[in-house]
Amino acid sequence: MTGACSPGHSKGSLITWKDLMDMASKKIKIEGSKEKGVQGEGKSELLRVEVGGLRAKSFQLSVGALEQALLAEFPAADAEEWDRTGLLVGDPAAPVRAVAVALDPTVGAIDAAADAGANVLVTHHPAYLTPPTSFQPASSPALNSGAVVYRAIQRGVALMNFHTALDVSARAQRMLSGMLGLSLRGVVEPKAGCAEKGYGQLCAPAEKMTLGQLAARCTSVFGRAPRVWGSFDRVVRTVVTCTGSAGPTGRAALAAGADVLVAGEVKYHDALDLSQAGMAVIDLGHDTSELPFCGVLAASVRDAGVPDELVAVVSQRDRWSYPEAVRV
């Protein structure tokens, strides 16, 4: 698949986050792996790799060639002006040994990638938007956004990301709708000149459904209970899905006549305004809605020519929790 406009599937089957990861990226054992605590991070991270790390296999692909292949699918021209896209840290001429994929380029993710033998970390979110003013270890007492860059250089791991260019891509349009078993009808905020790319997917349930049933489906698919604005017995006929922060997509969904907005993150006053205007809101959680992008990126890395056994996903799923969901 390329970055050119291409029609999305009209209907996706209901799958869970785990199903998506199993299909779109390598299903890997973690027996014998150990959790490694990383100073400065609230939760340890695991790289889901086979015991002994990523197995070596002969292939030829440079870091720069991998970047160009991914840019062909997620062009920098599709990204927002304020965003960063592609290779941020690393030598384009260096050969790719193995690739790790994650949502966020944290110090822990870099260590997990390097420990497994990967010298490239591909993420959704960028290591920074505003360039760091200093580059110090994460152990520095000051808040230090340059710690990620410092660690990547120290461990020899190239960093590249595809953020808003991935958000608006054809693959992204089908992700949430497919996971929730919704029929994709169109895009509420299309990119200029390409109706199949943009923010907010206008969808419809395949069968009669209430808001409570849709919220329960979200809990089942993503493994976390969302925050819901609206009456559970409300009948849902049209849905707009949106990964990450909803921003202006909420008002675009309202203008499109949607019954409910399913988004990764909706600010309180935005959710209040939308609910007062008559539209229900299901707030999944920013990272919850975007963790499946790891599967999309892993599939794209494989399509670029990296062997399946040299692509792995860093688990960043359990970095926070609800107090009532854990035993203390």
pTM for this entry:
0.84
The pLDDT of residue 240: 98
Q: What is the mean pLDDT of the chain?
A: 85
Q: How far apart (Å, rounded) are the C-alpha atoms in residues 97 and 57?
A: 8
Could you give the C-alpha distances from 318 to 126, 147, 167, 176, 223, in angstroms and in order?
20, 22, 23, 20, 11
**pLDDT band for position 193 (cuts 50, 70, 90):** confident
88 φ, ψ (degrees, to nearest 5):
-105, -35
The pLDDT of residue 22: 53
Q: What is the mean pLDDT of residues 122-140?
A: 91
Q: Do 201 and 173 meet the contact criterion of CB atoms below 8 Å apart?
A: yes
pLDDT higher at 193 or 9: 193
SS3 label, residue 244: strand
CATH class held by domain 17-166+290-317? alpha beta
The pLDDT of residue 41: 44
Q: What is the mean pLDDT of residues 239-246?
A: 97
Q: How far apart (Å, rounded) are the C-alpha atoms in residues 283 and 1?
A: 30
Residues whose CB falls within 8 Å of the CB of residue 273, separated by 6 or more in sequence, listed in order: none
Q: What is the mean pLDDT of residues 70-97?
A: 97
- Where exactly are the structural domains of the chain? 17-166+290-317, 169-288
Could you give the C-alpha distances from 277 to 227, 248, 254, 255, in angstroms and in order?
18, 15, 8, 10
Looking only at the bridges linking them, the beta strands covering 86-89 and 158-161 are: antiparallel
Q: Do 28 and 18 meet the contact criterion of CB atoms below 8 Å apart?
A: no
The pLDDT of residue 328: 60
The pLDDT of residue 215: 98
Q: Do 159 and 170 meet the contact criterion of CB atoms below 8 Å apart?
A: no
pLDDT at 248 over 50: yes
pLDDT at 43 over 60: no
| Helix runs in 182-227, H state only | 211-222
Q: How far apart (Å, rounded) are the C-alpha atoms in residues 85 and 299?
A: 18
Give the CA angle between residues 242, 238, 295 to the nearest 5°. Answer: 35
The pLDDT of residue 3: 47
Task: Tell me the CATH number for domain 169-288.
Answer: 3.40.1390.30
| Helix runs in the chain, H state only | 17-24, 63-73, 107-115, 147-155, 164-167, 170-179, 211-222, 249-255, 268-276, 286-290, 293-303
pLDDT at 242 over 90: yes
pLDDT at 303 over 70: yes
The pLDDT of residue 84: 96
pLDDT at 35 over 70: no
Q: Do 185 and 94 meet the contact criterion of CB atoms below 8 Å apart?
A: no
Span of 24-33, 108-117, 128-137, 187-196 with lowest mean pLDDT? 24-33
Residues 308-323 have pLDDT tens digits of: 999 999 999 888 888 8
